[in-house]
Amino acid sequence: MSQHDHGAQPVILPPQEAWGVIKSLLNPVTYLKFAKEHPILSLIFLVGVVVTVNRFLIGGLAGTTNLDDNNPWGIWISFDLLCGVALAAGGYTTTAGALIFNIKGLRTAVKPAILTAFLGYAFVVYALLYDVGQPWRLPYPVFWSQGTSSVLFEVGLCVMLYVTVLMIEWLPNFTDWVGMQKISHVIHKCTIALTIMGIVLSTMHQSSLGMLYLIAPHKMHPLWYSAHLPLQFFVSSMVAGMSMVIFEGTISHHYMHSRMSPEYNRDHDGVLFAFAKACSIILFGYFFMKWVPIAGENKWGYIFDGKYGLMWLIEMFGFIAIPCFLYAVGYRSRSTGTIKAAATISVLGIVFNRFNVSWFGFNIHLRPEQQYFPSVQEVIVSVFVVTLIILCFRFISKYMAIFSDHPSYSKGHH
C-alpha cells in the first residue's frame, strides 16, 4: 500500500478570485512571469509558435513537412491523431468502470480521466488543423457534404460528437469553480446518458481508426494488415486508456500531491489494482488476437523475415506479453511499482503499434528515397501540442477541483 501522507483538503479559490485568475490570463505579465519560472517549456512554446506561423502564413504544408503524394499522412496522423486518440481512451474506460459497472474504487479516477481525455481529443482536433490543407473546411464532411459510405466520415463525426460529450462531462469542474453550480447540477443529471454516449462513440471511432487501414492492403506489411484491425485497435485502446490513467495518475500524484484530497490519495492504489487486473486480462486476449490472423492467413513466414518480423516480435513480446505479465505480478503481489512500470511499457507499446501500422509498416513497397521521415518542424509541432496539453492539464488541476470534491458538494457526486 502507499506510504504517502494523506494530507489535508486542497484549497479551492472562491468564485470571485477564480474570475481574477481568468482575467490574469489576458495579462502579458502573467506569461513573462511563467517564462522566467519555466524557461524550457517557454522555449518549446516559442519555437512552436514560430513553426505555426510558418505552417499557416509562410511555408504552408510544403515548407513545413516532408509529406508528398506518396506519403500524405505523416507523424501528425501517426502520433498526434492515432496515438492521441488511443491514449485518451481513459475517459470512456474509467467512466464505464466507475459509473456503468459501479466499481467503487474508480470514482476518484473519473475526473482526472475525463480531463485527460477531453484535453487529448481537443488537441487531436487542434493538431488536425495543421495537417489538413484547408483547415477551415474541417466541418465540411459533417455539415455540408456527408460521405456516409466513408469510414473517415464516421471517424470525423464520432470525434466531433465525442469532443462535445467530453467537454460537457468536464464542464462542471469549471462551472463549480466560477460559482455557476446550477449548470453543474443540470449536467450531473445527464451523467449516465453522457457516459453511455461516450462509450458508444468511442467504441465506434476507436475501431474505425483501424478500419481506415483496411483500404490499403497492398501498402501495409502483411504482419500488421489484417481484417481484424478494427477489433485490435478497439481492444488495444482500452489498455492504452487505462495505462495512460495509471501513468498520468502517477505523475500527478508525484507533482500535484498537495492538490489531492485525503480520499483521492487513499483511493489511488485501488485504482492501480483495478486497472492492473483489467489490463492484464485484456492484454492476454489481445496477445492471442494478434496471433490468430497470422495463423488464419498463413503469414508465419513473415515473422522471421527481416526487420519487420523483428519489429513485430518486439511489439508482441516486449510491449504486449511483458506488460501483461507485469500487470498480473503487480496485481498479485500488490506492487504499485510493478504496475506503474507495466503502464509505462504499455503506453510506449501502443505508440509503437500505431507507428508500425501507419508509418513503419506502411508504404513498404516504396524505394528507400521515397520513404517518409518527418521534418524537424513536424516533430516540433508534435512536441508543441504535447506541451500545450501538459500546460492546460497543469493549469486546470491547479485551480479546479480535479483531485478533490468541490467544497460546495456533499459527498458522493461525480
Interface residues with another protein (CB under 8 A) are 105, 218, 221-222, 270, 273, 277, 280-281, 284-285, 288, 291-293, 295-298, 328, 331-333, 364-365
Question: At CA 294, angle to CA 289 and CA 298, rounded to 5?
Answer: 150
Least distance between another protein and beta carbon 29 (Å): 48
Least distance between another protein and beta carbon 229 (Å): 16
Least distance between another protein and beta carbon 299 (Å): 8
Task: Rank residues 306 and 337 by Cβ distance to another protein and give the closer one.
Answer: 306
Give the C-alpha separation, 142 to 271, whole Å: 37
Least distance between another protein and beta carbon 206 (Å): 22
Task: Rank residues 136 and 288 by Cβ distance to another protein and give the closer one.
Answer: 288
Least distance between another protein and beta carbon 328 (Å): 5
Task: Rank residues 332 and 398 by Cβ distance to another protein and give the closer one.
Answer: 332
Task: Rank residues 92 and 273 by Cβ distance to another protein and give the closer one.
Answer: 273
Give the C-alpha separation, 24 to 28, whole Å: 8
Q: Which of 413, 405, 391 is nearest to 42 (CA)?
A: 391
The torsion defined by the Cα of 171, 177, 182 and 186, in degrees rounded to 10, comes to 20
Least distance between another protein and beta carbon 285 (Å): 8
Least distance between another protein and beta carbon 336 (Å): 13
Task: Rank residues 127 and 276 by Cβ distance to another protein and give the closer one.
Answer: 276
C-alpha to C-alpha distances, 376 to 62, 258, 357, 372, nearest whole angstrom: 13, 38, 22, 13
Task: Rank residues 72 and 217 by Cβ distance to another protein and give the closer one.
Answer: 217
Task: Rank residues 111 and 221 by Cβ distance to another protein and give the closer one.
Answer: 221
Burial 87-107 (b: 16+ CB within 10 A, else e): bbbbbbbbbbbbbeeebebbb
C-alpha to C-alpha distances, 398 to 66, 242, 387, nearest whole angstrom: 38, 23, 16
Radius of gyration of the chain (CA): 22
Give the C-alpha separation, 75 to 69, whole Å: 15
What is the amino acid identity at position 177?
W
The torsion defined by the Cα of 274, 277, 278 and 283, in degrees rounded to 10, comes to 150
